[in-house]
Structure 1
Amino acid sequence: MEIEELTDPERRIGEAFPRGGTVDLTGADDRTVRARVLRSLLLRAPSEDGEIPALRLRGARVTGSLDLHSAVVSCPVSLTDCSFDEPVVFYGAECRGLSLRGCRMPELWATTVRVGGALRLSDCRVTRQVRLGGARVEGALFLERAVLGAGPDAEGRGPAQAGARARALGLDHATIGEDLRAAHLTCYGQARLDGLTVTGHIGFDDARFLHPAGTALQAETVTVGTDLHAMRVRAEGRVDLRGATVPGQLNLAYAQLSNPGGVALRASSCTAGELWLREARRIEGTVNLRRARCDLLHVSPEVWPASVRLDGLTYTTLAPTLPAARRLETLTRDADGYVPFAYEQLTAAYRHIGDDAAARSVQLAKQRRHRTTLPLYARLWGHLQDATVGYGFRPMRAAGWLAGLLLVGTLAYGLHPPRPLKADEAPGFNALAYALDLLLPIIDFGQEKAYAPQGGYQWLAYLLIVAGWVLATTFVAGVNRTVSRY
């Protein structure tokens, strides 16, 4: 392009480019720059001896399509607070560094782009989609305060229609060499991060993912080098973290997750050092943590929704430390029904902190829940075990029942001694020993064999014998269970 064809702003850009100078058109009468002029400069990259060429432009209005499809851009590109009337294309391009901070554009198409330094999209406003699938960014990716996708009032459409819009951010299978910094990011539509690899940390603090008609944040098999922080995040639609790997904190403290009638949080098969839902709002929609693993799970019972899926969820420590009764109610909400593993895991968490009483309470609750799945005869036997020894986790109950029956037998036969079978051979009658003979099947004081009660006292003897067998059996089973587990 000949120099005479350039407008005054374009001429200033052409003169500053070889030296890497900045051209600021903010507030200028003529802010218009043709995209083909910028493209020509980036592809030719004119330079001066001893200078580093760069495109540094602020406040311009770029007309036409800035199309750098598969181009090799050898100089840094910094376009700040510029507006584009057509999509910006860096598909398959290679850049030393790329900054579009504060720019407004219909769309950024940069699939498989290679950026040797940082990629800066902070404060951008993109009305359709940012496509970065398969991108390779050696530095950090900045999306702080960016607004992506058509907002609820775009083109006269309301919030419900806006929720049904397509993807706002495509970052699937991308690789970022440092951090993904996206605090205060807003996505109207789906943010897709499947297969994303970030060497450093991901920061979504105060971000908003708004896609009520579907999945707001699709981040399956994400791999993070350190932490994933999404404190105070707001998500309308499903948050999908299935198979994510976060060695440090997966921090959703103070989050607002809402997907009524569907899955609000899916983190099945996720692995995290710590999973935080501290002081988050009550989740609207199902939470699926099946087969997830973490060392610390920080969540209060009030955060769990009406429906959960916790089968296979493994954790070492559960915070905050609360009585077992506060935690047990959540297990009754499992959409899969009775899940034995969930009770075993909660038991292990209480045992880990040395609270054996709470662990026994969880095991008792497990047996009671299991009882509801059994046939009638088994439920009746279960009720008897529960009332007598608390399924072995309250063995002292049996001792109380035995003591009461022993007192009844001693008083009854002390006031009305049974007749001896052989008067000349029978030992002296002892009401206490006789009652013990009836109640305890393995004890023999010689009283039961020597005396025979009559009438109603004979039926009382039968009752004491049967009760003794039942109580002794359940007591021994309970003690064995307690000793084997604790």
Structure 2
Amino acid sequence: MEITDLTPTEQRIREAFLRGAAVDLREAPDDEAASGHSWGPDRTVRAEVLRWLLLGDHLRDGWTIGLWLTGARIVGRLHLAYGVVEHPVHLAACHFDEPLSLYGAQLRQLELNGSHLPALNAATVRIDGVLRMTGCRVTGSVALGGARIAGALFLDNAELGTATDGSGQQEDPVLQLNHAVLGTDVWGTGLVAHGQVRLLAAQIAGTLNFDDARIRHPGHTAVEAENLSVGADVRGMRLEVTGRVNLRGARIPGQLNLAYATLANPGGMALRASTAVIGELWLRDAAPIEGSVNLRRAQIDFLHAAPGVWPGAVRLDGLTYTTLAPHEPAERRLPLLARDEGGYVPYAYEQLSAAYRRMGDDRAARTVQLTRQRRHRTTLPWYGRLWGQVQDVTVGYGFRPVRAAVWLFSLLLAGSVAYALHHPHPLKAGEAPAFSPVFYTLDLLLPVIDFGQERAFTPDGWLQGLSYLLIITGWILATTIVAGITRAVSRQ
């Protein structure tokens, strides 16, 4: 198709296109594309003309053809669906009256920096180079589902979607990258999204960077990144998200960096990363999370999160981590485990204890194990709780061995004083050894040791009751010590 009724502006663009030259229609370098609806004929070009140029056969020997157009108002629908564009396309600071359609198209490179679009439909697009949308304003959605982009996607300082009545909600995702494959990075620093950002099963060979981005979808899923796979890091420093962040099944070998971030979904789930595999999860100096957190069965090598960042409701069953930072006393981290929505989760205590042992803080590890036993006791029947209470009071379930020494010394002292003041009678006069109140008391307290005192002397009156008490408490103390030591050794 040949278009012959070109306007002077369109003729200028055609001549520049054939030479691979740039055309800048702006009146000033800071012209905003959002006001493009008011631009006159000297800055207006029909979408059908651009389509004719991009899809037509205009090759001239010796010339490098390409479209470099800045500051134009594009009227009509630029429809390049299923088309093959052999030339680089640069439409910077342009105002599109209608959505740009690139569904199933093949392009070498596309740049839309600073442009204003109602929407971009580029699902299953193939781009040999990069897609640049830095500073773009898209009032609708950017659909890149199933796209194949050999280079990077740049969305830094772009604004997607339109806030509705201050709610920040939009029915369709404002950014769709589900099942997209990108050869390098996705750069979305400073991105503003008034709706859902969808990254379902996206594959990004490099880094996904949402530093300083703001994503709002209150009461709904704001970031849908289930089964996301990246080759390096996911950055979200100072990221602000209102709504749920879903990273279930994500694979992030480097960092998931949410330092200084704000995650808020009051009354719902703020962060879900169950079954995710993450190299490092950073929540350093992040705001306290509003909403619940689900990290069930996640695998994290390094976890940096202060106790105060966690919300009141968490799911930690099956969470595995190697290193925990910053180093905090066990007493500050244990309340988080008590808030697990799944109830008593033994594995969570084992993980925390193991992390402290790897840090060389054996005291904190013992504190975690003692708390675990006390929590477990609340799940037992009355007789189990009673026996657990005895073990707790006497030896702290084996994790407080000093208590055993205190109890032994106290009973030994009481018995020695009592029997020193009131000697028991010898069973056979003249054959009994010299009486020793200390060793007589030890004979009563320690069932596996025999100093010969208990067999040679017998108390009467209230001393006999004291003997029975020492024998019973000695058996209980010895049993709990053995049980506690066995438990502690088995955990080592």
TM-score range, shorter chain: over 0.9
- How far apart are residue 247 of structure 1 and its match? 1.1
Aligned to 1:91: 103
Residues 1:106 and 2:112 are matched in the alignment: no
Give 1:198's match in structure 2, choosing from 190, 193, 204.
204
- How far apart are residue 456 of structure 1 and its match? 1.6
Paired residue type of 1:37 = V
Q: Is the 8 A contact 1:210 1:236 kept in 2?
A: yes
Please list the CA deviations of residues 32-57 of structure 1 after superposition, one character each: whole Å capped at 9, or x if unmatched: 11111111111114132211111111
Task: Flag the 1:142–1:422 CA change in 2: closer, same or farther, 3 A.
Answer: same
Alignment map for 1:77-156 (pairs within 5 Å): 77-152=89-164
**Counterpart-to-counterpart distance in 2, 1:438 and 1:405:** 10
Give 1:368's match in structure 2, choosing from 349, 371, 374.
374
SS at match of 1:239: strand
User: Unmatched 5+ residue regions in structure 2?
Assistant: 28-38
Aligned to 1:333: 339
Aligned to 2:32: none
Please list the CA deviations of residues 437-466 of structure 1 after superposition, one character each: whole Å capped at 9, or x if unmatched: 111101112222222222221111111000
Aligned to 1:415: 421
**Counterpart-to-counterpart distance in 2, 1:163 and 1:277:** 26
Q: TM-score, normalised by structure 1?
A: 0.96
Please list the CA deviations of residues 182-207 of structure 1 after superposition, one character each: whole Å capped at 9, or x if unmatched: 10111111110011111111111011
SS at match of 2:453: coil
Aligned to 1:432: 438
**Counterpart-to-counterpart distance in 1, 2:238 and 2:104:** 35
Paired residue type of 1:148 = L
Q: Is the 8 A contact 2:161 2:170 kept in 1?
A: no
Moved more, 107-116 or 312-321: 312-321
Q: Is the 8 A contact 1:405 1:464 kept in 2?
A: yes
**Counterpart-to-counterpart distance in 1, 2:284 and 2:135:** 29
The alignment of Structure 1 onto Structure 2 pairs a total of residues equal to 480
Aligned to 1:18: 18
Moved more, 473-482 or 407-416: 473-482
Q: Is the 8 A contact 1:119 1:137 kept in 2?
A: yes
Aligned to 1:299: 305
Alignment map for 1:162-181 (pairs within 5 Å): 162-163=168-169, 165-181=171-187
Q: Is the 8 A contact 1:25 1:58 kept in 2?
A: yes
SS at match of 1:163: coil
Alignment map for 1:199-348 (pairs within 5 Å): 199-348=205-354
Paired residue type of 2:231 = G
Alignment map for 1:460-471 (pairs within 5 Å): 460-471=466-477
Q: Is the 8 A contact 1:411 1:431 kept in 2?
A: yes
Paired residue type of 1:195 = A
Give 2:479's match in structure 1, choosing from 470, 473, 483.
473
- How far apart are residue 356 of structure 1 and its match? 1.2
- How far apart are residue 341 of structure 1 and its match? 0.7
Paired residue type of 1:188 = H
Q: Is the 8 A contact 2:135 2:158 kept in 1?
A: yes
Please list the CA deviations of residues 125-155 of structure 1 after superposition, one character each: whole Å capped at 9, or x if unmatched: 1111100000000011101111111124xxx
SS at match of 2:293: strand
- How far apart are residue 281 of structure 1 and its match? 0.2
**Counterpart-to-counterpart distance in 2, 1:447 and 1:394:** 31
Q: Is the 8 A contact 1:89 1:109 kept in 2?
A: yes
**Counterpart-to-counterpart distance in 2, 1:240 and 1:391:** 40
Aligned to 1:40: 52
Q: Is the 8 A contact 1:119 1:142 kept in 2?
A: yes
**Counterpart-to-counterpart distance in 1, 2:278 and 2:57:** 46
**Counterpart-to-counterpart distance in 2, 1:303 and 1:164:** 29
Task: Flag the 1:45–1:181 CA change in 2: closer, same or farther, 3 A.
Answer: farther
**Counterpart-to-counterpart distance in 2, 1:3 and 1:175:** 37
Aligned to 2:35: none
**Counterpart-to-counterpart distance in 2, 1:163 and 1:356:** 50
- How far apart are residue 166 of structure 1 and its match? 2.7
SS at match of 1:380: helix
Q: Is the 8 A contact 2:226 2:247 kept in 1?
A: yes
- How far apart are residue 417 of structure 1 and its match? 1.3
Q: Is the 8 A contact 2:162 2:170 kept in 1?
A: no
**Counterpart-to-counterpart distance in 2, 1:130 and 1:270:** 27
Give the fraction of aligned pairs with identical amino acids, expressed as a percent.
Answer: 59
- How far apart are residue 102 of structure 1 and its match? 1.1
Task: Flag the 1:3–1:413 CA change in 2: closer, same or farther, 3 A.
Answer: closer
Alignment map for 1:45-84 (pairs within 5 Å): 45-84=57-96
Moved over 4 A (4+): 1-4
Q: Is the 8 A contact 1:45 1:53 kept in 2?
A: no
- How far apart are residue 4 of structure 1 and its match? 4.5
Paired residue type of 1:67 = H
- How far apart are residue 332 of structure 1 and its match? 1.1
Aligned to 1:459: 465
